[in-house]
Amino acid sequence: GSTLQAAAAETNRYFGTAMAGHYFNNSGTMTITNREFNMITAENEMKMDATEPSQNQFSYAAGDQIVNWARQNGKQVRGHALAWHSQQPGWMQNMSGTTLRNAMLNHVTKVATYYKGKIYAWDVVNEAYADGSSGGRRDSNLQRTGNDWIEAAFRAARAADPQAKLCYNDYNTDNWSHAKTQGVYNMVRDFKARGVPIDCVGFQAHFNSGNPVPSNYHTTLGNFAALGVDVQITELDIEGSGTSQAEQFRGIVQACLSVARCTGITVWGVKDSDSWRASGTPLLFDGSGNKKAAYTYTLNALNAG
């Protein structure tokens, strides 16, 4: 294949990107997005603060712009994210207890119902595990509603949109030996054993010198897949430049291709200048939209699969 999406499709995988509302103002970015990618994640527009700015008053215009463009151009959509400790609307941030639990479940139900039939996979719960060596849950207002908040969110999402794949999504879960990776793995194993509806695990894959691409990534992806879930790289970006950066992108692609249930890769933006890492160059296209070495290594690795 001569594009990322075509090359990924040769092994029945997708290649996606995050896109934001401001992409529509840049025709060069839109041309690249349409040509190279066939899975779209809204970078911010479908999060809790964007979709429910006032309690039980929903706002879908910004999400719809992205979802409708994707569908009109033959692309699938990854929904991001139904429940998260971060980017909560102001009215939710100081809630607690049953009030918060019910507000969260109402959000999951209403948003998943609104987008029913249009979403390939939802990040139902995002970033619920703690960094560091505990392997346990992150403290948050949602966690303090009870340890079962994650499974409650997944059950509500399944009831609202039975066709969407339901994913747990997190970062720094790439290295198999990390406690956080083990914590998430144990949760997924428990969910599968008890019949909690979960279909996939997203690995955000934000890499930098403090969190390098691990050499055992294929082991991590393979072990999760062996639990009976799909795995996906959901927010890939890698700090750096040149051949060294390109080789790391290649390693990610090779890790995914080595696992049958790794169904796709999404990068977290198109051009370096679009990245949430304001001063970095972690993506596949430079600020002018030129293909970087990282692009070429990624494309070649997909084609070699």
C-beta of 36 vs 43, nearer to ligand G3I? 43
45 binds ligand G3I (CB under 6 A): no
CB 194 to ligand G3I: min, Å: 27
CB 270 to ligand G3I: min, Å: 12
- The H-assigned helical ranges of the chain are 4-9, 27-36, 48-51, 61-72, 90-93, 97-114, 149-160, 179-194, 217-225, 242-257, 293-304
The three-point CA angle 284-216-278 to 5° equals: 30
C-beta of 202 vs 222, nearer to ligand G3I? 202
Residue nearest to ligand G3I (CB): 276
Per-residue three-class SS string for 27-85: HHHHHHHHHHCCEEEECCCCCHHHHCCECCECCCHHHHHHHHHHHHCCCEEEEEEEEEC
C-beta of 44 vs 303, nearer to ligand G3I? 44
Q: Are 113 and 163 in contact (CB under 8 A)?
A: no
Residues forming a β-bridge with 206: 237
Q: Which residue has the tokens 């991590």?
A: 220
Question: Is 235 an active-site residue?
Answer: yes
CB 3 to ligand G3I: min, Å: 24
Q: Which of residues 150-209 bind ligand G3I (CB under 6 A)?
A: 171, 204
- CB neighbours of 278 closer than 8 A, spacing ≥ 6? none
The residue among 22, 62, 2 whose CA lies nearest residue 269 is: 22
- CB neighbours of 68 closer than 8 A, spacing ≥ 6? none
276 binds ligand G3I (CB under 6 A): yes
81 cis-preceded (ω within 30 degrees of 0)? yes
87 binds ligand G3I (CB under 6 A): yes
C-beta of 79 vs 183, nearer to ligand G3I? 79
Task: Give the rounded distance of the alpha carbon of 177 from its chain centre.
Answer: 22
68 binds ligand G3I (CB under 6 A): no
CB 153 to ligand G3I: min, Å: 16
Question: Are β-strands 230-238 and 262-267 bridged in parallel, bridged antiparallel, or unpaired?
Answer: parallel
Choosing from 151, 235, 239, 247, the catalytic residue is 235
In the list 174, 235, 239, 272, the residue contacting ligand G3I (rule: CB under 6 A) is 235
CB 262 to ligand G3I: min, Å: 19
In the list 54, 86, 102, 290, the residue contacting ligand G3I (rule: CB under 6 A) is 86
CB 305 to ligand G3I: min, Å: 26
In the list 26, 44, 59, 303, the residue contacting ligand G3I (rule: CB under 6 A) is 44
215 binds ligand G3I (CB under 6 A): no
Active site residues: 235
Give the footprint of ligand G3I on this chain (CB under 6 A): 43-44, 86-87, 126, 171, 204, 235, 276
